[in-house]
Chain A
Amino acid sequence: MTSIITRRRFNFGAGASAAALPFTAGRALAQAPLGVGFIYVGPVGDHGWTWTHDQGRLAVEKEFGAKVKTSFIEKVAEGPDAARAIRQLAQANNQIIFTTSFGFMNPTIQVAKQFPKLFFEHATGYQRADNVATYNARFYEGRAVIGTIAGHMSKSGQAGYIASFPIPEVVMGINAFHLAAKKVNPNFRTKVIWASTWYDPAKEADAAKALIDQGCDIITQHTDSAAALQAAEQRGVFAFGQASDMKAFAPKAHLSAIIDDWSGYYVKRVREAMDGTWKTGDVWGGIKDGMVKIAPYNDAVTPAARAAADAVQKGIVDGTLHPFTGELKDQKGVVRLKAGEKASDELMSKMDWYVDGVQA
């Protein structure tokens, strides 16, 4: 139902309101603040994906103070209807607009054509234009770190992975997690349940329970709620947080989490828009760039697991370790990467095969 029914709240930060717009326009010739707009797919309070983007917006406000005026529209449905929301921000004196979900790709391109002087930034997409840049995070690097911890912490050698949809982003995460765990424990198994949804807390919890029933003692997920963590806590197994630190939901089970941090990128791009040095482009940032972070380890994480996880992080940052390094075979035995070969961004962004040991 949420794709049809969305509550729109048009929210101005920095104390401005729609009624005050004529006045700000009048001051435009003086030192008017730079308008920065955000389109969110979920509610700011989702404690996940959208929340992390809003943290980035707050970082922009903190950095530039009165020099910027940020605004956002939350819970915008993906698809053609999003164009209306993006246009609304474009007409409201925003110079740079971030659209933060894959499904906003076509509407962003469409609105950008009508406003050639404004800058648009689309998260996780692949279509660009002179005034439309794209950006994404290398979440698979975080998956390699938690996979390493999973390999060390699992007694049964089986992890349960609650996945949303078999798109490359998700497939990449499953493979990165499994390969890292397998490096620690060669017999490691990763069992995947496709929830066919990004968000259904009760189903996510039931999926976690089913995986635990089948012998998994580590749960991780590529869905949006903390329900799986709660199920893990209840059954006394370990789990990982997704998008933000979810320790509050499962103090004992929560080993660590992959945290999205968009603050650095948003501050940088807003500064460029201010200076007039903004250019289109495509950024895929990882742990090195601070876009992906690892939450503090739980006390239960053993010293060996900590050391190994830290080593993986360090290796990814200094470039000596790539989560996808050959020789790599898929489940049918086809060699996807030759010995020593590192996966190209192109190969990863089209990944539609599973490595051996994944049950998907």
Chain B
Amino acid sequence: MTSAILVSILMTLVAASTPILLAALGELVVEKAGVLNLGVEGVMLTGAVAGFAVAYSTGSTGAGLVAALVAGVATAMVFAVLTLSLTANQVATGLALTIFGIGASSLIGAGFVGRTITRLGPAFPEALSGHPLLRAVLGHDIVVYLSLALVLAVSFFLNRTRPGLILRAVGENDASAHAIGYRVIAIRYAAITFGGALAGLAGAYFSLALTPMWADSLTAGRGWIALALVVFAAWRPARLLLGAYLFGAVMTAELQFKAAGVTVLPPEALAMAPYLATIAVLTMMSLGPKSGRANAPACLGKPFSAS
């Protein structure tokens, strides 16, 4: 295999990993604040359709990315109002949000089926990435670099800053955080806003970069992989990065093996791999020294109302 092919495979791998990394990173912050949002898939879809609609109408993929952020936040706000202000059940509301997102995106996108836009291009001028090895480093689009920067930023924020500590406190013990004067609900609103923005961006990565078109259920279940990934990473940003690229590698390897005529496992088995890996990690975590829920935020999924 020449280096050009290896680089090409690497580019496919990075592109496949980026949206699940973004969506999972947003969900990680949400869960660290003690909220379980199962509606990631739905938020991704509204982001995907809004991004495409705006990019198609204005001719600017940049405007599309911004629109996806806004649409993601707007959809996540529905979830936030229901679960935080009205203390609805988070699991049921999250599932409902996915169903809502599938339907709403299909309705909004009906007029955009069959249209195309210019794909989101590389972030740097192509002259810089003439050599295959340079292309592997400099040939990606802006969202890829943004996702990597965000992993660093989130990791630093959660572990090295005071607001990060407060956010974690809210997720670990909402009553105590409330008692010493932190505004639990406001902090959770902020976390859900961040999660919604990233899920919206992840969705737009499908409709603007991976497959520049709109079609119903474009993300085809990647939101669920992102949710599994957060558990797989044991709520740690660095492990999330590793996990996302591992999941991306598994998805890409499956196809490369088939194309090369190597049958390692049946394709159905490889399609199960991300979920099997998550179950395996969960099992290992509960068998480990800190048994039980290990690193999961203690208040994850519990409704909070100040009394």
In the complex where A45-B110, A234-B119 touch, is A201 in contact with B215 (Cβ < 8 A)? yes
Does A346 sit within 8 A of B, measured CB to CB?
no
Name A's interface SS: mixed
Alpha-carbon distance A143/B99, docked complex (angstroms): 37
- The number of residues on chain B lying at the interface, defined by a beta carbon within 8 Å of a beta carbon of chain A, is 43
Least CB separation from B205: chain A residue: A202
The reply on A191 being an interface residue by CB < 8 A is yes
Q: Mark B260-286, 1 if CB is under 8 A from A, else 0.
A: 110000011001000000000000000
CB distance from A188 to the nearest CB of B (A): 15
Which A residue sits closest to B12, measured CB to CB?
A209
Inter-chain contact B256/A214, CB cutoff 8 Å:
yes
Name A232-249 residues within 8 Å CB distance of B: 234, 248-249
> Are B259 and A226 neighbours in the complex by a CB distance under 8 Å?
no
Give the residues in chain B near A191, CB-CB below 8 Å.
258-259, 261
B6, closest chain A residue (CB): A213
Are A210 and B213 in contact, CB atoms less than 8 angstroms apart?
no
**Is residue A194 within 8 Å, beta carbon to beta carbon, of the partner chain?**
yes
Main secondary structure of the interface of B (DSSP, over half): helix
Is B216 a contact of A45 with CB atoms below 8 Å?
Answer: yes
CB < 8 Å: which of A7, A47, A160, A192 contacts B106? A7
**Is B60 on the interface with A (CB-CB < 8 A)?**
no
Is B61 in the interface zone, CB < 8 Å from A? no
Interface residues of B in 88-133 (CB under 8 A from A): 98-99, 102-103, 106, 109-110, 113-116, 119
CA gap between A5 and B251 in the complex, in Å = 25
B211 pairs with A225, CB closer than 8 A? yes
Pick the residue among A196, A216, A230 that contacts B212 (CB under 8 A): A230
Does B99 lie within 8 Å of A206, measured CB to CB? no
Q: Mark B14-42, 1 if CB is under 8 A from A, else 0.
A: 00100000000000000000000000010
User: In chain A, what residue has the closest Cβ to B216?
Assistant: A43
Query: In the bound complex, how far is the Cα of B260 from the Cα of A102, in angstroms?
Result: 32
- Least CB distance, B132 to chain A, in whole angstroms: 13
Enumerate 25 A-B pairs (CB-CB under 8 Å) in ascending A order.
Answer: A1-B217, A5-B102, A7-B102, A7-B106, A42-B216, A43-B110, A45-B109, A45-B114, A45-B216, A46-B216, A47-B114, A196-B271, A199-B220, A200-B220, A202-B206, A202-B210, A202-B219, A203-B220, A207-B255, A207-B258, A209-B255, A214-B256, A216-B259, A230-B211, A230-B212
Binding site for A on B (CB under 8 A): 5, 8-9, 12, 16, 41, 98-99, 102-103, 106, 109-110, 113-116, 119, 206, 210-213, 215-222, 224, 251-252, 255-256, 258-261, 267-268, 271
